[in-house]
Amino acid sequence: MRVHTLSLPNPYFEKDNNAYAIELGDGELALVDTGVDRPEAFRALVEGLARLGYAPQAVRFVLLTHKHLDHFGLAHRLKALSGATVYVHAQDLPDVVEFDGRYPRVHDQYAKRLRAWGVPEARIEPLRRTRDVFLKLGRSVPAEPLYDGQTIDLGRVELRALHTPGHTMGSACFLLGDRLFTGDHILPDYTPNVGATDLAAQGALTRYRASLQKLKELDGVRALPGHGRPIPDLNARIDEIVRHHDEREARILRILSDGRPRTVFEIARALFGELREHHVVLGCGEVFAHLEALEAREAVVGLEDGRYARR
Ligand SMILES: [Zn+2]
Ligand SMILES: [Zn+2]
């Protein structure tokens, strides 16, 4: 089974994306993730496929690891060109299928939450412009729901979906023989954000930690992430990410150890320094996910005014 990495430019956030082309035989392909819906990413995708001897029309299946724009953005173009069947986990499906209708409302949902987190108004309004840019990086696409453990029949091969919620609630990894496509669940160079998506969901960090442990039993697989280089030792990387979250948790408790309650934004500033534009959302979301987990363990308490204090 031949699998090829296609690097797609993404100047908007994170880094360039990896899409993976799986050769299915009979001139057909499956694609894991797609990149943002911008001409330069689409061009890179088409050129990458051409180097392998394929046209976009050869893509029969598009497997999305999660609902973020840098992963599903181009799915609608591929579907229009080839009629490919698009799959995404059921919990991320609505935001992919109904993206065009839902995304314009996202700013107001975030603004409400950021205010509760103590973010000053002057930091919130500019985010509307960022959201307007993001809105152009994807389009709604019809897709089929995936569930944990489901086998996807790609013709000559089967691929297994593993639900790994945390980064988004519908994040999934795909197992193909001894390869594991990890999307943004596990990345080689930095820890994926937890807590800045799915604002209505609870316990993102606790779920994320459970999703890391779940992959430990796959010992020996070669992990192919949504950004960056392959991860040769998956379990070692999982241990690093767990340590990172343990350390961050300890830092948050230290910040609160002087007895003064703080807002999510104040803690995020103390941890990450100056937070610019979209990083306000990422940083605060991450801190909130930690506070939520710490509160569940009764290490901190959320006060009525939205601040948090040590117990
Ligand atoms: Zn992501
Ligand atoms: Zn990503």
The CATH number of the domain holding residue 260 is 3.60.15.10
The ligand placed nearest to the CA atom of residue 166 is 1
pLDDT at 15 (0 to 100): 80
pLDDT at 1 (0 to 100): 78
Q: Give the pTM.
A: 0.96
The ligand placed nearest to the CA atom of residue 167 is 1
Query: What digits encode the pLDDT tens for the residues 195-246?
Result: 999 998 999 999 999 999 999 999 889 999 999 999 999 999 999 999 999 9
- CA dist., res. 50 & res. 69, Å (int): 24
Q: Are 66 and 89 in contact (CB under 8 A)?
A: yes
Q: Are 172 and 146 in contact (CB under 8 A)?
A: yes
Centre of ligand 2 to C-alpha 68, Å, is 7
**Residue 17: strand pairing partners:** 8
Q: One-letter amino acid identity for 32? A: V
When divided into structural domains, the chain yields a total of 1
Q: Are 87 and 172 in contact (CB under 8 A)?
A: no
Question: How many other CB atoms sit within 10 Å of the CB of residue 132?
Answer: 12
The ligand placed nearest to the CA atom of residue 225 is 2
The ligand placed nearest to the CA atom of residue 35 is 2
Centre of ligand 2 to C-alpha 38, Å, is 15
H helix or E strand, kind and range, residue 94 = helix 93-97
The ligand placed nearest to the CA atom of residue 198 is 1
pLDDT at 14 > cutoff 80: no
Near ion ligand 2, which residues have CB within 5 Å?
Answer: 14, 70, 184, 226
Count Cα neighbours of 240 within 13 Å in the Cβ-side half-sphere: 13
Strand ranges of the sheet holding 144-146, from the earlier edge strand across to the other edge: 3-8, 17-25, 28-32, 59-63, 85-89, 144-146
The residue that leads in pLDDT, 309 or 219, is 309
Q: How would residue 276 be classed by pLDDT, with cut points 50, 70 and 90?
A: confident
The ligand placed nearest to the CA atom of residue 185 is 1
pLDDT at 246 (0 to 100): 98
The residue that leads in pLDDT, 232 or 264, is 264
- Provide the token pair at 80: 């229009």
Closest to 30 measured CA to CA, from 162, 178, 176 = 176
Query: What digits encode the pLDDT tens for the residues 49-107?
Result: 999 999 999 999 999 999 999 999 999 999 999 999 999 999 999 999 999 999 989 99
Segments forming the whole domain that contains residue 275: 3-310
Count Cα neighbours of 185 within 13 Å in the Cβ-side half-sphere: 31
Centre of ligand 2 to C-alpha 15, Å, is 8
Centre of ligand 2 to C-alpha 166, Å, is 13
Centre of ligand 2 to C-alpha 56, Å, is 22
- CA dist., res. 178 & res. 129, Å (int): 42
pLDDT at 158 (0 to 100): 95
Centre of ligand 1 to C-alpha 257, Å, is 33
- Provide the token pair at 292: 């939520």
Centre of ligand 1 to C-alpha 182, Å, is 11
- Provide the token pair at 113: 């939450």
The ligand placed nearest to the CA atom of residue 19 is 2
